[in-house]
Structure 1
Amino acid sequence: MYTTGFLFNGGCGDMRGFANAGFDPRFGANHDAASVATARLNWPNIYVREAAIQTIDMRTLPYADVLGGSPICWESAPAGGNSQVRVQVELSADSTDNDESACWEQTRITAWEPVRYTEVHKPLVYAGENVPRFATGNRPLFNAWLHVWDALGYYPEFTSVNSAHITVETPDGVLGPLPQYRDRLVWVMVRKDIGKVPDLRPRPQSICRECGPVKGVQFWPGHTSGRGRRIGSYLHRMARSGTSRAKTSYYYVCPTERCHQRVEPVTRGIGSVINKSVRGHRFGDGRQDRNEAYGKATRARVAAGIATYSGQPFIVTLRNHCTASSLDDPIGTITAQGGAHHYFVRPTESLLVDDCEYRSLTVEENASAQGFPERHRFAGKPSEIKSQVGNAVPVTVATWAALETMKIMPP
C-alpha cells in the first residue's frame, strides 16, 4: 500500500480523501495542537508532529510515497482582491465567528515547505490545492515555483475544479457533488521517472437540453487558441461573458459531436445537509453574541428571502453582492471562519422579518458540506473545529485527485 504524509493536516480533508482512495496515512504535521489531535483521533497509529512547519527539519519526518500539503497564497502578498498585505500570524482560538482579523491566521504552510521535504525524501508525488489566485495573483513567483519543481525532477499537472461538480466512486460507495461552490486549483507533481501523469480533467455529470445526461467538458472562452495555462474559476450563467472574469474562467459544454452547447453540471443543494431539528433564535431579538440588532443589509437579505421563497426556509449569505438563496442550491465557499457567513432562515406564518427563526450553520452541517463523513471526528474547542472545517480540502475533491493519482503509481 502506498503511504501518504501531510505537512498541514488541519481537519484532515486531504488525508481523508487519500485514505478513501486506498492510500495509507503515515504522518501529519501542524502547528495547531487541535489539528494534530484530530489526526490522532481518526488514525491512532499515525506519526504526528506538533510544530510550525517552517521550523521542522525535514530529515526528521518519515518518508511517504505521496506528500500532501496545501500552502497559503504566498507568505506576503495581497489576496482576494484586497490591497492589504497579509502575513501569517499565530492561530487564535479566542477569535469570534465574525472576527474579520481571523481570516488570515497561520493555517497554511508556505509554498516552499513541500520543496524542502522533497529535497530530502524525493516522494513519488506531491499533491496540493489552493484558490486559483495562488497561480494568477502572483504569476512571476508562481512560475519560479514551478521552475524549482522542474529542477527537482517533477512534472506538474494542474486542474481548475469546483467542489459542487465532482462525483467519485469509491469502494465504500459514491461520493456525490458537495453542496458548496468552492473553486479550487488542484495540482499533482509527479516524479519524472514515473513516466506518466494523472488525468485531472473534470467531467461532471451534466444535463444537455438536446442530448440529456452527459459528462461535461471544460471550455475556456478566453483560451480559444488552446494555448496557455488554464487556471481560473467556474463561470456561472449569471456572469456576463464579456467581463474580464470570463477570460480567466470556464464552463462546461456537451461532449456530443455537433452539439457542444453549454451544459450545467448537476449540483446538490445545501438543504441536503441542513438539520431541521436544530432551532435558531428570533431574528428580532438581535445578535446573540453581541446583544445588538442586526444591520440593515442583513435585514434586507432576510426580507428578500421571504419574498422570493414564499415563506419557505432559505439561506442568507453575509458577503458583498450576496443575498438569499434556495436550499436547493449549493452555498458559497465555507471560509476559514468556519462558515460564519451562511445563515439558515425559517420564516413563520406571519412572514414578518422579526419573527423569522435565524441561526448560523452548525459545525456538523459545514463539515458535511465539506464532504466529511459522520465517522470523521474533530478535536478541540468549537472555534478550533470551525477553523479546521473551513480550512479543509474538500474531501470529495481530494478523493477524486487521489483516485486519479493512484492510477499512475508504479507497481
Structure 2
Amino acid sequence: MATSPLIGQRTAALALSAHPEAFAEEELQEWAAKQIAGGRPIAIDLFSGAGGLSAGIEASGWSVAAAVDLDRRALETHRHNFPGLSLQLDLGDPEVRDEFVGRFENVTVDLVAGGPPCQPFSRAGRSKIRSLVEAGTRDEVDLRKELWRAFLDVALRLKPRAVLMENVPDMGLGDDFAVVRIMVDELESQGYVTQVKLADAWHYGVPQHRKRLILLARNDGQDFDWPEKQPEITTLWEGIGDLPDLDGGRGDRDLTYHQPDEPGPFLARMRDGAPEGVIHDHMTRGVRPDDLEIFKLMDSRTLYSEIPVHLRRYAADSFTDKYKRLGWKELSRSITAHIAKDGYWYIHPDQHRTLTVREAARVQTFPDRFRFAGTRSDAFRQIGNAVPPMLGEAASSALLSQGAAVTGTEDRPRWLDARHALATWGQNQAQSTYWFALPGPGMTAPAALAAATMSSGRFPLDEVGTAVSYFRGLAYFNSEPIYGALEAVPSAKRALARLLPLMRKRAIWRGPDEPAEIVRLNASERRIYDMLRGSDVLLRSQGVLRLAARVAGTSSHETNRLTEGRMDVARLVGSGSEAPTRMAAIRLLAATTCLPNRRDCGACPLATWCLTHRAELALAAGSQDEVVDPVGDCAEVPLDLALPHADHLPAERGELGRCATVTVGVGG
C-alpha cells in the first residue's frame, strides 16, 4: 500500500539557548545563597529528564540548583527552561557520585528529588540469586550499582530535610515493593519519617489517566500535607480544546493562536508566561491513507477489533487496543515515551490525526512557554518520560516546611519500631509450638512444602502443626514421615498425598524449585513455601491485608487490595533478613489475634503502633468510657495452642470465626 509523502518527513532539530539567568558551575554557592536569602530553599533533581519534576518543585517554592541526566537532548531542554546547572553525569559510577556530592559541600540542600530508572526485582530472579548465595557461588550483597541505589546514596550523603522519589507503580507492584522497602528502611534508619503513596495524577489536575508511585521522606517531624484532591476531572477539552485546528495538516513550530475570552483555570495556567498570539510546537506526524480511513470510522469507544478486517494492519487478538481515539469529555490515556514511535494510542477527539507535541505537553501539564530541544520525536520522547509538573507540584508541596522542626517527636519512626517488635515476636514464635508457621531452624524444604500444601485447606492450626512436625528438620523424606502425617491427620489426606511423588528422591531437594513444581503448588501456596524457606515475599490473603490495614489506619483491605493493600503490608514487612519472619508473623497474628470482628489487642505485639487500636483508645478516653478491646464472646474459650502473651484468645475459621479451633489465614 502506498505511503503518504508526509510520512517519513522529519522535523529539523530545535536548538535551544541556555536560560537567561543561568550561572556557571563555580557560581553555584553564591547563587544558592541568594536563593535561600530570598526564601527559596535549594533542591536538586536526579535523573531529571526534560524537567517535569523540576517544574513542579519550583512551582512549590524551591529553586532547582542542579539537574542530572544522561540524555543530551533532555538536558538541553532543562538548561533552556531552568537557570540551575544541567549536568550530564553517570550517577551509577561511584566516583562520579563522589564528585557530584562534593559540589554541595558548602550548599544547604533542602530537597533531593528524582525518578531513577528502575527494573523491579523479579521473584524468579530473587529465587535464583538466593540459590547461588546458598551454593556459595555468589556474594550475598549484589555489588552492581542500580540507579535507585545511586539516588539513595546521594540523598543519604547530602542529608537534606526532605526526599522525593517518583516512579511507575511497577517499581512497587512488580516485585512486592522490594526496592521501595529497602529504600524506606534505609531512610528510616537515618531518622526520616516516610510515606509511600500511589497517586492518581488526575486528582491533582492532570487531564490523563496516570498513576505514579511517590516516596516522600522528611526529618523535621512535620506531617505530609498533600493538597486536597480535585473532585472532578480536568477533561481533554479543558486541556487542549483551545488549540487551533490543523485542518488535515501537520502543524508547525509556530502557529497563530487565539485565546478564548474566558479561559478556565487550567488554560490560564498553561498560558502563563507564553507569548501572546503564538502557540509553539503544535505539530504532529502525517497520516497514512489507510490510517486516515480507519480514523474516520472511529469514535472514543471504538475497539481495534471493530475496525473492518480489510483495513487492519495488525492482528486484532494481539493488538486489542492498537488504535485509540480520545474523547473530549474524558481523560486522556497515559502519555508514555511510546508516543515517540507512533501516536495510534492518541488519536485526536475529532480531527483525523494523532496528538501534536504541544497537545501531548498540555496533557502532561507542561505550560506553553516550555520548549523541547531536538526533533519532533525527541520532544515526544521527553514529554512521555516526564513527571507531569502538576503532579510534581502536588507531591513536593507535601514536603514543604511549615517552620521550625517539631520537637518532642519520637526519635525513631513509628514503622521502624513496629517492624522491630514484629520481628522479635516472630522469632519467639519460631521457638514455640507455632514453629511450623514461621521460618526457622526446623523449617527445612520438606517441612515448608508440607505446610504449603495444607495452606489452602483451612485446617486448624493444631492439625497443621501435627502434620508438619513429621517433616521437621528433614532434608528429604521417605515413606515414614508422610504416612505418619497421613495417619495423624486423616482430614489432610488429599493435601498431603500430593507429597507422595517426592519420596526417596534426594536429588530433587538440591534447589527449591523442583519439589514445588512436582507438587504443583499454586501461586498462593508457592508464596507461603518461599516465605517459610526464608525468601522475601509478600502474602496477599484477606487476613494479612486486614491486619496491615488496621495497623496503618486505612481501609485498603476493602477498597484497594492489590495496590494500597499490598503497600500497607509492605510498610509493615520492611526489608532485610528479618522480612520473611515479619511476613510470617503477620499471617499468624491475622489467624489468632486480629480476626474480622474480634481482636485481642492485649496479645498483639503491634498494639502500640496500630492506628486503629490507638484511635479506639482515644475515642474511649474522650467519651470517658472504660477502654475495652473488642474481643468478643470467644475470649473465654481456652486454646490448646495459646500464644505466649495470652491464655485465652478468639479463634477463626476462614473469615467467619469458630471458637473451637484456630485456623491459618487462607492462602498467600
TM-score range, shorter chain: 0.5 to 0.7
Within 5 A, what are the aligned runs for 1:153-192? 153-166=191-204, 177-191=205-219
Partner of 1:269: 236
**How far is the alpha carbon of 1:369 from its aligned partner?**
0.9
Structure 2 CA distance for partners of 1:373 and 1:280, relative to 1, 3 Å: same
**How far is the alpha carbon of 1:52 from its aligned partner?**
2.6
Q: Is structure 2 residue 354 aligned with structure 1 residue 360?
A: yes
Structure 2 CA distance for partners of 1:188 and 1:307, relative to 1, 3 Å: closer
One-letter amino acid of the counterpart of residue 198, structure 1:
F
Secondary structure (helix, strand or coil) at the match of 2:92 reads: helix
Partner of 1:326: 327
Partner of 1:112: 149
Q: Is structure 2 residue 40 aligned with structure 1 residue 40?
A: no
Q: Is structure 2 residue 346 aligned with structure 1 residue 342?
A: yes
Query: 1: CA distance between counterparts of 2:338 and 2:300?
Result: 27
Q: Is structure 2 residue 46 aligned with structure 1 residue 7?
A: yes
Q: Is structure 2 residue 78 aligned with structure 1 residue 52?
A: no
Query: 2: CA distance between counterparts of 1:159 and 1:365?
Result: 28
Query: 2: CA distance between counterparts of 1:135 and 1:155?
Result: 19
One-letter amino acid of the counterpart of residue 69, structure 2:
N
2:229 to 190, 201, 204: 204
Secondary structure (helix, strand or coil) at the match of 1:293 reads: helix
Secondary structure (helix, strand or coil) at the match of 1:337 reads: helix
Query: Could you report, residue by residue, the CA deviation over 1:16-47 in whole angstroms, capped at 9, with x for unpaired residues?
Result: 11111110110011101111111211123x12
| Larger radius of gyration between Structure 1 and Structure 2 | 2
* Residue segments in structure 1 that go unaligned for 5+ positions in a row: 79-108, 167-176, 207-264, 309-317, 347-356
* Higher strand content, 1 or 2: 1
Structure 2 CA distance for partners of 1:70 and 1:306, relative to 1, 3 Å: closer
Within 5 A, what are the aligned runs for 1:56-135? 57-61=96-100, 62-63=103-104, 64-74=109-119, 77=122, 110-135=147-172
Higher relative contact order (CA 8 A, sep 6+): 1
Partner of 1:279: 247
**How far is the alpha carbon of 1:12 from its aligned partner?**
0.5
Structure 2 CA distance for partners of 1:29 and 1:117, relative to 1, 3 Å: same
Query: 2: CA distance between counterparts of 1:324 and 1:148?
Result: 44
Judge which range, 124-133 or 8-17, deviates more. 124-133
Partner of 2:613: none
Contact 1:6 1:15 in 2 (8 A): yes
**How far is the alpha carbon of 1:270 from its aligned partner?**
4.3
One-letter amino acid of the counterpart of residue 211, structure 2:
D
Partner of 1:377: 371
Secondary structure (helix, strand or coil) at the match of 2:189 reads: helix
CA RMSD of aligned residues (A): 3.2
Partner of 2:481: none
Secondary structure (helix, strand or coil) at the match of 2:368 reads: coil
Structure 2 CA distance for partners of 1:75 and 1:135, relative to 1, 3 Å: closer
TM-score calculated relative to the size of structure 2: 0.39
Contact 1:179 1:270 in 2 (8 A): no
Contact 1:302 1:345 in 2 (8 A): no
* Same amino acid, percent of matched pairs: 22
Partner of 1:212: none
Q: Across the two proteins, how many residue pairs are aligned to each other?
A: 283
Partner of 1:293: 290
Structure 2 CA distance for partners of 1:305 and 1:187, relative to 1, 3 Å: same
Query: Could you report, residue by residue, the CA deviation over 1:327-357 in whole angstroms, capped at 9, with x for unpaired residues?
Result: 11111100012373201153xxxxxxxxxx5
**How far is the alpha carbon of 1:291 from its aligned partner?**
5.8
Structure 2 CA distance for partners of 1:39 and 1:204, relative to 1, 3 Å: same
**How far is the alpha carbon of 1:110 from its aligned partner?**
2.8
**How far is the alpha carbon of 1:304 from its aligned partner?**
4.4
Query: 2: CA distance between counterparts of 1:288 and 1:18?
Result: 32
TM-score calculated relative to the size of structure 1: 0.61
Contact 2:111 2:161 in 1 (8 A): yes
Q: Is structure 2 residue 299 aligned with structure 1 residue 305?
A: yes
**How far is the alpha carbon of 1:272 from its aligned partner?**
3.2
Query: 1: CA distance between counterparts of 2:403 and 2:162?
Result: 9
**How far is the alpha carbon of 1:197 from its aligned partner?**
3.3
Partner of 1:397: 391
Query: 1: CA distance between counterparts of 2:79 and 2:359?
Result: 23
Secondary structure (helix, strand or coil) at the match of 1:27 reads: strand
